[in-house]
């Protein structure tokens, strides 16, 4: 695994505006707990919080800083459902269970809202999310999605916006319509992660930073999780490492791929100008496979994300490359400076469905959020806690989904994915 010792949060708008500077200690010596969680991102701290609330003793081991990876760097978008189409689950379950999956996809949004309210997390939570249509065929697909959600699942929060109404959401001529979801939204992901970590500690969990796990050993007496300077003895282990899972579980690592994604933050704009750009203050993404996503910040910046890299190599001159993409939607921002540019890796699965399960009866994992991690991680933490506490029916639904290894092995799977994504980029242009 890579060395994370004494890392700081990557330089970003989120790190610059973080409102919690808590430094958790490094693990020293040996301790015993009910559950050891590996990774203090959104999955890990959500799991720790849910378990601590149920009375379990929990230790969280983080190789770097809480929220250091994708949890503290992402686009901050709250998107209902999962990254895959709902019918991705259909071959693995009956109609009743498919409805349960839909309901849990919507529950992910409720979990975030409930946690923010209950724990008074200052993370700029703002409701409203839109998927914008780049082409007429995208508009048709979005209308079909709205109708399908209402007919099959009774979901009535989708509102289709025709082209002549798009000015109420975005000051751009690039889109031919959009699907607005009143239940979705956006937030400051690092502050949300840090707020959940604070809540977990207040509930009794212990977080240890700069405590990279070097080995995981299992015996009849439980599990021993070792770091350079300490060890945790636990009855249960939860792997919440995503793209940094590495040698801890090669069999799980083969089922996800790291995908680079990047964000810029402009300088603060004049308030009237900023409000005119996105009057509804909703988060947005477009309809392409290789998409752009963007949203306004409370201090009147434009936060623009995209430039997905399936090779894991960051674009050259990142800030300028991202700025050029932003100007395709907002040419009126040509005079605006970029204050921050950063990136990170999200973990995707072959079918874009989340990958939850067990390596053994007492070793749980959750990974493969595929770009929907801000809210789906909250569900993962809740379901893992339910399962450890003996209520596994919802968690086990995810175990029915078949997940394949990425082809090509350690050497060829990244080049193979780059070639595949080149085809999707061509399709986006057609």
DSSP string, 3-56: --TT--PPSSHHHHT-S----PPPP-EEEEEEEEEE--SHHHHHHHHHHHHTT-
Residue 315 has pLDDT above 70, yes or no: yes
Residue 427 has pLDDT above 70, yes or no: no
The predicted structure's pLDDT at residue 409: 59
Tell me the two tokens of residue 301: 């910046």
d(CA 330, CA 263) in angstroms, rounded, equals 16
User: Region 54-66: what's the mean pLDDT?
Assistant: 98
The predicted structure's pLDDT at residue 245: 86
d(CA 273, CA 153) in angstroms, rounded, equals 39
Q: Which residue is associated with the tokens 């997940």?
A: 403
Band (pLDDT 50/70/90 cuts) for residue 4 is low
Task: Identify any residues that bridge with 126 across adjacent strands, giving them in sequence order.
Answer: 186
- Residues 116, 192 contacting (CB under 8 angstroms): yes
Tell me the two tokens of residue 24: 């958790």
Residue 420 has pLDDT above 50, yes or no: no
Residue 188 has pLDDT above 50, yes or no: yes
Query: What is the DSSP code (8-state) at residue 254?
Result: T
pLDDT in tens, 101-120: 999 999 999 999 999 999 99
User: Region 293-301: what's the mean pLDDT?
Assistant: 98
Q: Which residue is associated with the tokens 């090669």?
A: 250
Q: How many C-alpha atoms does 113 have within 13 Å on its Cβ side?
A: 15
The predicted structure's pLDDT at residue 418: 52
- Residues 325, 341 contacting (CB under 8 angstroms): no
Neighbours of 338 (CB within 10 A): 19
d(CA 151, CA 360) in angstroms, rounded, equals 39
- Residues 47, 194 contacting (CB under 8 angstroms): no
Residue 301 has pLDDT above 50, yes or no: yes
- Residues 126, 390 contacting (CB under 8 angstroms): no
d(CA 207, CA 56) in angstroms, rounded, equals 14
pLDDT in tens, 75-102: 999 999 999 999 999 999 999 999 999 9
User: Region 288-294: what's the mean pLDDT?
Assistant: 88
d(CA 369, CA 373) in angstroms, rounded, equals 5
The predicted structure's pLDDT at residue 2: 47
Helix (H, G, I), strand (E, B) or coil at 365: strand
Residue 149 has pLDDT above 70, yes or no: yes
Tell me the two tokens of residue 412: 């060829």
The predicted structure's pLDDT at residue 208: 98
- Contacting residues for 422 by C-beta, under 8 A, at least 6 apart: none
The predicted structure's pLDDT at residue 192: 98
Q: How many C-alpha atoms does 197 have within 13 Å on its Cβ side?
A: 32
Phi, psi for residue 274 in degrees, rounded to 5 = -65, -45
- Whole-prediction pTM value? 0.94
Helix (H, G, I), strand (E, B) or coil at 226: strand
d(CA 179, CA 15) in angstroms, rounded, equals 31
The whole-chain average pLDDT of the chain stands at 92
Q: What percent of the chain has pLDDT over 90?
A: 84
pLDDT in tens, 316-371: 899 999 999 999 999 999 999 999 999 999 899 999 999 999 999 999 999 999 99
Residue 423 has pLDDT above 70, yes or no: no
**DSSP readout, 125-140?**
-EEEEEEEESSHHHHH
Residue 53 has pLDDT above 90, yes or no: yes
Q: How many C-alpha atoms does 15 have within 13 Å on its Cβ side?
A: 20
User: Region 305-314: what's the mean pLDDT?
Assistant: 77
- Contacting residues for 258 by C-beta, under 8 A, at least 6 apart: 243, 312, 345, 346, 347
The predicted structure's pLDDT at residue 426: 45
pLDDT in tens, 222-279: 999 999 999 999 999 999 998 888 788 989 999 998 888 999 999 999 999 999 999 9
**DSSP readout, 77-130?**
EE-SS-SS-GGGSGGGS-HHHHHHHHHHHHHHHHHHHHHHHHHT--S--EEEEE
- Residues 122, 198 contacting (CB under 8 angstroms): no
Taking the CA atoms of 60, 212, 305 and 419 in sequence, report the sign of the dihedral they define: negative
d(CA 278, CA 249) in angstroms, rounded, equals 44
Q: Which fold has domain 1-124+187-256+352-399?
A: FAD/NAD(P)-binding domain (3.50.50)
Domain ranges, ordered by start, for the chain: 1-124+187-256+352-399
The predicted structure's pLDDT at residue 55: 98
């Amino acid at each position: 695994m890579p060395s994370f010792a004494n890392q700081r949060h990557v330089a970003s708008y989120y790190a610059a505006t973080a409102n919690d500077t808590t430094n958790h200690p490094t693990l020293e010596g040996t301790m015993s707990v009910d559950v050891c969680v590996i990774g203090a991102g959104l999955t890990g701290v959500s799991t720790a919080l849910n378990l601590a609330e149920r009375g379990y003793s929990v230790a969280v081991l983080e190789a770097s800083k809480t929220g250091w990876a994708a949890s503290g760097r992402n686009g901050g978008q709250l998107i209902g459902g999962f990254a895959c189409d709902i019918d991705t689950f259909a071959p693995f379950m009956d109609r009743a269970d498919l409805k349960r999956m839909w309901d849990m996809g919507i529950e992910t949004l409720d979990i975030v809202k409930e946690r923010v309210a209950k724990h008074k997390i200052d993370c700029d939570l703002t409701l409203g999310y839109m998927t914008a249509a780049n082409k007429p065929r995208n508009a048709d697909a979005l209308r079909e999605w709205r109708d399908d959600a209402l007919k099959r699942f009774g979901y009535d929060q989708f509102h289709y916006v025709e082209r002549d109404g798009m000015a109420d959401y975005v000051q751009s001529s690039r889109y031919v319509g959009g699907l607005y979801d009143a239940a979705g939204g956006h937030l400051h992901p690092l502050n949300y992660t840090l707020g959940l970590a604070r809540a977990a500690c207040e509930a009794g969990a212990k977080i240890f930073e700069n405590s990279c796990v070097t080995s995981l050993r299992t015996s009849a007496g439980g599990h021993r999780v070792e770091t350079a300077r300490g060890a945790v003895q636990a009855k249960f282990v939860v792997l919440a490492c995503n793209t940094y899972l590495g040698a801890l579980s090669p069999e799980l690592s083969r089922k996800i791929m790291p995908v680079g994604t990047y964000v810029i933050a402009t300088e603060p704009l004049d308030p009237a100008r900023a409000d005119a750009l996105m009057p509804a203050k909703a988060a947005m993404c477009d309809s392409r496979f290789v998409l752009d996503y963007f949203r306004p910040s409370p201090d009147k910046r434009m936060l623009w994300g995209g430039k997905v890299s399936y090779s894991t190599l960051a674009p050259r001159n990142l800030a300028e490359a991202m700025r050029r993409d932003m100007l395709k939607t907002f040419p009126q921002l040509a005079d605006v400076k970029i204050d921050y540019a950063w990136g990170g890796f999200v973990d995707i699965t072959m079918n874009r469905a989340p990958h939850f399960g067990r390596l053994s009866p007492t070793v749980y994992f959750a990974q493969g959020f595929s770009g929907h991690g801000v809210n789906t991680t909250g569900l993962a933490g809740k379901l893992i806690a339910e399962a450890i506490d003996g209520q596994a029916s919802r968690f086990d639904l995810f175990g029915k989904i078949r997940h394949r290894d990425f082809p090509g092995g350690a050497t060829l799977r990244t080049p193979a994915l780059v070639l595949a994504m080149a085809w999707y980029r061509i399709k986006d242009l057609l």
